[in-house]
């Protein structure tokens, strides 16, 4: 099993012994089911009718015009049911958990999108659901807390540490250690011990596979650059999976620069971290010289995590993908710009990537082609945006 647990030197299974049998069970079930036509047919059917797949490829004409450079397309994961790519993974894992006979589901959530996605599939399948969420994130993402409760999930506040996604994840793992026999833990990103990083990638690769097919069909070529935001890194790895074997396509991950990587107040683990172990896998993490995991900062709760998926760490080390950091204020400006120019309100997480797309578009110039994974919608971030920018937004944008 060791070959499959790693991405180069990254990954692995650094968890208490109590969980090891469950990870073996999960790995066995996953490897069987991913080859099982019945499972794959069920998944495809539910993706079509419950999630709303395939999501469209959208030509962002006014942003393209505004930046005056490369042609910009969005892969519209914001149009997935519940408003983000998270449902691709939650649905797949719920179907898997049902087939494994698990009676209870737990999850962690940062921005609440993964929590809502998990609560949604649990409602659909009649499974009891507990979602761990940092107390600070519950405040920031209050609407999503209400949505989860409406769907029947119990939302447990986590007040330890920084009361954000890191601490919610630790608490969810401790719940799993305690209730491992009947509980499945739906991890929301490509983090955690094997087989999660690979399994979540495979459940998210539908984004990249669809996008590649759609892009070729409409543009008769591949994009030059594919861009996605990276917290733990699930929308990005799903998108990258469709293009990683196309050497001409540049892959760019955008991390949360917070108040600036140089200030130490950020969540950019690939750009500003070191290799270490967090939540069961060896990857890049933000830590001090003693190996204690550092508090993070991002205006986007879903990016506010001090680690990154081990496959991203490998892609970064190999140079196959590059990673940049975009700051809070740049993300807020990109949120406003996209909302006003395209009539599409992006999640603050996605807004980080949109800012970088703007920079790249100008740099690459007309004739170049950029594809963005538009990971989620921004309704959940209304309060945050209004609190940092309460007045009327300036009128921006070109003619029309």
* Contact positions vs another protein (CB under 8 A): 1-2, 5, 12-22, 160-161, 166-167, 170, 173-174, 177-181, 275-280, 285, 287-293
Q: Which of 77, 108, 136, 255 is catalytic?
A: 108
Q: Which is nearer to another protein, 26 or 249 (CB)?
A: 26
Cβ 86 to another protein shortest distance, Å: 23
Which residues lie across from 107 on neighbouring strands? 131, 186
CA-closest candidate to residue 360, choices 372, 350, 349, 348 = 372
Question: Do residues 131 and 188 make contact, with C-beta atoms less than 8 angstroms apart?
Answer: no
Check if 25 is active-site: no
Q: Please, what is the minimum distance in Å from the beta carbon of residue 21 to another protein?
A: 5
Which region holds residue 348: left if phi is over 0, alpha if psi is between -120 and 50, else beta? alpha
List phi, psi (to 5°) of 3.
-60, -40
Candidates 86, 102, 166, 380; catalytic one? 86
**343: helix, coil or strand?**
coil
CB of 110 to another protein, least distance (A): 15
Q: Which is nearer to another protein, 20 or 393 (CB)?
A: 20
Query: Cβ 79 to another protein, closest distance in Å?
Result: 35
Catalytic, 108? Answer yes
**Measured from the CB of residue 2, what is the shortest distance to another protein in angstroms?**
6
Q: Are the C-beta atoms of residues 186 and 106 closer than 8 Å to each other?
A: yes
Residue among 77, 198, 375, 380 flagged as catalytic: 375
CB within 8 Å of 288: residues ≥ 6 apart: 294
Told to judge if 349 belongs to the known catalytic residues of this protein, a careful annotator would answer no
Give 254 or 294: the residue with its C-beta nearer to another protein.
294
Strand 225-229 and strand 369-374: pairing? parallel
Q: Among residues 278 and 321, whose Cβ is nearest to another protein?
A: 278
Q: How far apart are CA 170 and CA 224, in angstroms?
A: 38
Encoding tokens for residue 346? 């992006």
Question: How large is the angle between the packed helices 37-46 and 86-99, nearest 10 degrees?
Answer: 140
What are the catalytic residues? Answer: 86, 108, 375
């Amino acid at each position: 099993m060791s070959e499959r647990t790693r991405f180069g030197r990254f990954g692995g299974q650094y968890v208490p012994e109590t969980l090891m049998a469950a990870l073996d069970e999960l790995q066995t079930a996953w490897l069987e089911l991913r080859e099982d036509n019945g499972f794959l047919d069920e998944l495809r059917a539910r993706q079509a009718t419950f999630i709303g797949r395939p999501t469209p490829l959208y030509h962002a004409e006014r942003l393209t015009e505004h930046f005056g450079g490369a042609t910009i397309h969005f892969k519209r994961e914001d149009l997935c049911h519940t408003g983000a790519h998270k449902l691709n993974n939650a649905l797949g894992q719920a179907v898997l958990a049902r087939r494994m006979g698990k009676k209870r589901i737990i999850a962690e959530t940062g921005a609440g999108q993964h929590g809502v996605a998990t609560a949604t599939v649990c409602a659909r399948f009649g499974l009891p659901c507990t979602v761990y969420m940092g107390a600070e994130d519950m405040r920031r993402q209050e609407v999503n807390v209400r949505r989860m409760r409406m769907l029947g999930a119990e939302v447990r506040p986590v007040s330890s540490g920084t009361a954000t996604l890191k601490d919610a994840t630790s608490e969810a793992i401790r719940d799993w250690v305690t209730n491992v026999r009947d509980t499945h833990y739906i991890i929301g990103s490509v983090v955690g011990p094997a087989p999660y990083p690979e399994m979540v990638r495979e459940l998210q690769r539908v984004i990249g596979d669809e996008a590649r097919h759609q892009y070729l069909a409409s543009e008769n070529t591949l994009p030059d650059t594919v861009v996605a935001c990276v917290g733990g890194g699930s929308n990005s790895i799903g998108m990258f999976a469709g293009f990683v074997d196309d050497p001409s396509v540049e892959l760019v991950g955008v991390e949360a620069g917070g108040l600036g990587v140089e200030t130490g107040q950020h969540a950019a683990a690939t750009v500003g971290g070191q290799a270490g172990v967090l939540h069961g896998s060896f990857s890049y993490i933000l830590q001090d010289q003693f190996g204690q995991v550092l508090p993070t900062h991002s205006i986007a709760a879903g990016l506010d995590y001090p680690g990154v998926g081990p496959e991203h760490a490998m892609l970064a080390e190999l140079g196959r993908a590059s990673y940049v950091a975009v700051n809070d204020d740049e993300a807020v400006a990109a949120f406003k710009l996209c909302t006003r120019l395209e009539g599409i309100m992006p999640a603050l997480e996605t807004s980080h990537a949109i800012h970088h797309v703007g920079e790249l578009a100008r740099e690459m110039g007309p004739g170049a082609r950029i594809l963005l994974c538009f990971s989620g919608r921004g309704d959940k971030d209304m309060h945050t945006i209004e609190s940092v920018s309460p007045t009327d937004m300036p009128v921006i944008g070109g003619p029309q």
